[in-house]
Structure 1
């Protein structure tokens, strides 16, 4: 059949449309091509006379975009996620005698908006959470061949095993349930004015918050005691522990 159709025959794992298809455990080995692409970019820039602002622009608009397509399709392993962000951070702070310079601020804090003391770099972990929420929203909204298949397989079907895509959508279940309104006509995303899901609104709701912003919300934006308690918990979890 491969000869008649002119198609190449292969075995798992292999890459199709830029995504590695595999069976079994989601291994960091399947995403080495992302690290290699980032490293190839960095090697061309590492010895150029770039200011910190120039490095920041390249991180925001070039190298941080390399894993986005894969991250929106498949949940990257934590090891791959940490390796990518480590490369981003090393490039931003620079090298000295072949070794990374000291990182004066954690990558998590650099991912905060500028108004909260960060540099507005997008967090890869939050991007993946937003993509998981988008998949679940699209499933609940329906109207596509993919949603019909997932509904038949995992909601109304009797699949004994679950895919990695289904598992990542279930991880976003609580967040999506908090921000949707289901009517007879449509599924509405309450964070967006027009009711359509946007990754930007999901990212803003999911991203790490600085404790300063949480205190501001506590004093100026809430009047409900339960909401106050929830924000107190967020503040307590976001303030670094004293040594």
Structure 2
């Protein structure tokens, strides 16, 4: 029995029943497709939203709600099934990206309680906020140890479950510059500056604060850095006005134009990410490499890697690439991950409940263990033609001199394949008769 916040799936099934009751009063066959979309947006999505304000619903309940919306949108009933002509992931894209602007229920559920985190940070003097802070986080809502506490009310657990979405949407406004990590906090550009660095930072660099590179009144001294950063980033830093004598302390704001919390931004953070991995072996066994790419729900590059594996079999190479991809996704703080591989054997090994042979048991167990660290994670097989980016990265791994290369931005040799995937163009697969 699935349980969330100490409650079972059946405790929340009344939400599904309410949506079912509402849908049963409508005749989908009498409505045009546009009318069904409007009803899903304005009615069936609104019913669970009320209950998702401060509680994280079980995954099974969210999946059932999505299924009800999908079936109604395409006119399916229990008596008569209809083909869903477009994938739900495409339907749930924003309208400006070719979708219908509908929501994934689970991602929406992570968005709404994230707003409570924002309100606790912005309005800590409210009675309800004081109660939560005093009982669960006396050091504040941004305490690094927040996630270590397991006990608590259902409201607190719902707030904590969505804390990572809230944290990822924040950035710093520089005032006196004393409270901001130069490399690890988001204060300039679109990502922390450490994403521009390949390899580990020295102890001095790792502990560097923004105030350490400020001299006088708004004078930046970047010459103290031992690492080079792009010219455009340097110019963006120089444009920031800083005064160490200013009484204002540095402030966390939501990463939007006005600095206020926006549900749309939180939803885009909460949406799933996709990991494609591949292993390339020049012989079986032979010299092997692995590679993978992580993209967000609109197809943008989030991260990638290529690795030299050594001499091994093709299945070992596929599993090693999967393990590297899972570790990269964990490092990026991803909560929801959809994994695609073109090795059916590797997919069946990981998804099976049985133990594979002795030569593969260790790495398969590692992959299963890593997958359990995500809130939502699925692994499925795709054809090689749909795995172009990962295939190029894996082949590059066979030839590179470095053991492991992480790519915060897409390397030039995969840009064409990446653009092809985003365009939703069709690849043809030849099948022998």
Query: TM-score, structure 2 length as denominator?
Result: 0.41
Alignment partners' CA distance in 1, 2:261 and 2:68: 31
Alignment partners' CA distance in 2, 1:204 and 1:24: 24
Report how far residue 38 of structure 1 moved.
Answer: 1.1
RMSD after superposition? 3.6
**Deviation string, structure 1 residues 182-212 (Cα, Å, up to 9, x no partner):** 886795433233322222332234335222x
**Deviation string, structure 1 residues 210-234 (Cα, Å, up to 9, x no partner):** 22xx16xxxxxxxxx975269x9xx
State the match for 2:156 in structure 1. 166
State the match for 1:59 in structure 2. 40
Q: How does 1:1-243 map to 2 (within 5 A)?
A: 25-46=6-27, 49-95=30-76, 98-141=79-122, 142-156=124-138, 161-178=151-168, 179-181=170-172, 188-208=252-272, 209-211=297-299, 214=300, 227-228=408-409
Matched position secondary structure for 1:95: coil
Alignment CA distance shift 1:94-1:47 (3 Å): closer
Greater RCO between the two (CA within 8 Å, min separation 6)?
A: 1
Report how far residue 165 of structure 1 moved.
Answer: 3.3
Larger-Rg structure:
2
State the match for 1:4 in structure 2. none
State the match for 2:336 in structure 1. none
**Deviation string, structure 1 residues 49-90 (Cα, Å, up to 9, x no partner):** 111111111111111111101011211111110111101111
Alignment CA distance shift 1:143-1:51 (3 Å): same
Between the two proteins, the alignment pairs up a number of residues equal to 205
**Deviation string, structure 1 residues 87-110 (Cα, Å, up to 9, x no partner):** 111111113681221222222221
Contact 2:114 2:166 in 1 (8 A): yes
Matched position secondary structure for 2:63: helix
Alignment CA distance shift 1:165-1:99 (3 Å): same
Query: TM-score, structure 1 length as denominator?
Result: 0.70
Structure 2: 5+ residue runs without aligned partners?
140-148, 176-247, 273-296, 302-405
**If each structure's helix is expressed as a fraction of its own residues, which one has the higher value?**
1
Alignment CA distance shift 1:201-1:95 (3 Å): closer
Structure 1: 5+ residue runs without aligned partners?
1-22, 216-224
**If each structure's strand is expressed as a fraction of its own residues, which one has the higher value?**
2
**Deviation string, structure 1 residues 20-71 (Cα, Å, up to 9, x no partner):** xxx9722121222222221121111126511111111111111111110101
State the match for 2:236 in structure 1. none
